[in-house]
Amino acid sequence: MVKNNPDARKKRLEKLEQYLAKHSCDYYLTSLEHEIYYFTGVAVEGHFLYGGGYDLLLTNPLYYEDAVQKSLTGTIDCLKDDYTKELKGRLKDLPKGRFLISNQERVITYLHLKRSGHKVKIVSTQPLRSIKDDGEINAIMKAYEIIEKAVIESLSTVREGITELDLKAEIAYRIRKNGAESDSFEHIVVFGEKASVPHAKSGMRKLKKGDLILIDAGARYMGYCSDITRCFSFGNNSEEPFKYYRYLKEAQEAAEASLTLNPRAKKADRAARKVLKKYGLEEYFTHSLGHGLGLEIHEAPYLSVRSNDVIEDGMVFTIEPGLYFSGKYGLRLEDGYYFFKKPVKLSKLSHELIIL
């Protein structure tokens, strides 16, 4: 809960109650830290139980003091002995009912519920978090400020012979120096031919004159993620990648425009591919157009040709067309957006393929 706002929590619990009713469930239970944080205001190990008169956070001595100071739950209990045994005991004591749990929930939580005699319904809980409130939007905007500043500052360290891991470490250091608690995911910092793999791993590959650099990075601020991708040229003056990067910008703009006219996620994906197809490049765009952002780096809504998601006011997502040429190089242009009647770009970094 950004800044532990009681009013924001009240609205989240109202939405949760509606979700429980929609799925004919009596209780909600989670051990997922990001969901505990979303509904209680504190990121701790444990379980959050809601429904049937319960608004209960169960944690252990390692987190109890932090929970007492920050949590907005009705009750906080510290399980001091055998955590699993105590949890099973609590569940057995509850009036029998139907529990709603996330499809990301740990198997052991499901087993505890079944062995305690309760019914369980497993669903995606991401829709509960897909529309962000003002506090969440502000946190994501700050996360974008941090990552963009970190990337710009790190470019001053780029030199011939620097490794991918060196540059990745520079970005990670500056992210924390500028106020983030962590990276929002395992960053992708790759040079030259390695960028032709969309999710390549950084390694000891050294930068050479003529290489293209791909940086896909994000910062986590107050629990919320940013995600941005930019490419840079280290002395590569060939016209081809610069031309292709302009095509990616055109594809991104077409996706933005399509969402303004019709906020269906698949429409945006199709609009971007239509641009690349015009230039005979559609086959080199090998992944979906984008994904939602929040407490998770990938969450609803999903922008792909297979998605049935409708973009609504308050949603935050990426648009990230890319082109990947096996064994040669890859290019991706990724920005974050907040939707309010139309996509509002959160990223400020240049959209040009800059020569370093």
Q: Where are the beta strands (DSSP E) in the chain?
A: 27-30, 47-51, 54-59, 75-78, 98-102, 119-123, 182-183, 188-191, 211-217, 219-221, 224-225, 228-234, 290-292, 299-303, 316-319, 322-325, 329-332, 335-339, 343-345, 354-355
Q: Which CATH number fits domain 2-129: 3.40.50.300, 1.10.10.60, 1.10.10.10, 3.40.350.10?
A: 3.40.350.10
Kindly list the distances between the CA atom of residue 104 and the CA atoms of 34, 184, 253, 319, in Å, as whole numbers in the listed order: 11, 18, 33, 25
Give the chain's mean pLDDT: 95
Show the 3-state SS of 71-84: CCCCEEEECCCCHH
Domain residue limits, the chain: 2-129, 134-355
Flag the least confident range among 55-64, 73-82, 180-189, 191-200.
73-82
Model confidence at 1: pLDDT above 90: no
Residue 260 Cα distances to 47, 254, 274, angstroms: 40, 10, 17
In this structure, how many other beta carbons lie within 10 angstroms of the beta carbon of residue 127? 15
Q: Is residue 40 a contact partner of residue 1, using CB atoms and an 8 Å limit? A: yes
* Of 238 and 346, more confident: 346
Q: Which two tokens stand for residue 324?
A: 């990947």
Model confidence over 98-141: pLDDT tens digits?
A: 999 999 999 999 999 999 999 999 999 999 999 999 999 999 99
Task: Please provide residue 219's backbone torsions phi and psi, each rounded to the nearest 5 degrees.
Answer: -115, 150
The two tokens of residue 354 are: 């800059």
Mean pLDDT throughout 152-170? 98
CATH architecture assignment, domain 134-355: Alpha-Beta Complex (3.90)
The residue whose two tokens read 């609009």 is: 271
| Separation of alpha carbons 269 and 237, rounded Å | 30
| Residue closest to 319 by CA, chosen among 242, 215, 249 | 249
Structure tokens at 350: 């240049």
Contacts of 251 (CB under 8 A, 6+ apart): 271, 272, 273, 275, 276, 285, 321
DSSP line for 213-236: EEEEE-EEETTEE--EEEEEEES-
Q: How far apart are CA 139 and CA 275, in angstroms?
A: 33
pLDDT tier for residue 333 given thresholds of 50, 70 and 90? very high
3-state secondary structure of 32: coil
Compute the average pLDDT of residues 259-278: 96
- In angstroms, the CA 161 to CA 181 distance is 30
Q: Quickly state the pLDDT bin for 82 (edges 50, 70, 90).
A: low
Task: Report the share of the chain in percent with pLDDT over 70.
Answer: 98
pLDDT, tens only, 21-48: 999 999 999 999 999 999 999 999 999 9
Question: What percent of the residues of the chain are helix, what percent strand, and what percent coil, each to the nearest 5?
Answer: 40, 25, 35
pLDDT, residue 237, reads 77
Radius of gyration for the alpha carbons in the chain, expressed in angstroms and rounded: 22
**What's the rounded Cα separation, in Å, for the pair 341 and 264?**
12
pLDDT given for residue 184 in this prediction: 97
Query: What per-residue confidence (pLDDT) applies to 2?
Result: 66
Mean pLDDT in residue range 273-283: 98
Q: Look at residue 115 and give its three-state secondary structure.
A: helix
pLDDT for 323: 98
Nearest to 351 by CA among 325, 321, 309: 321
| Predicted confidence (pLDDT) at residue 324 exceeds the cutoff of 80 | yes
**134-355 matches 2-129 in CATH topology:** no
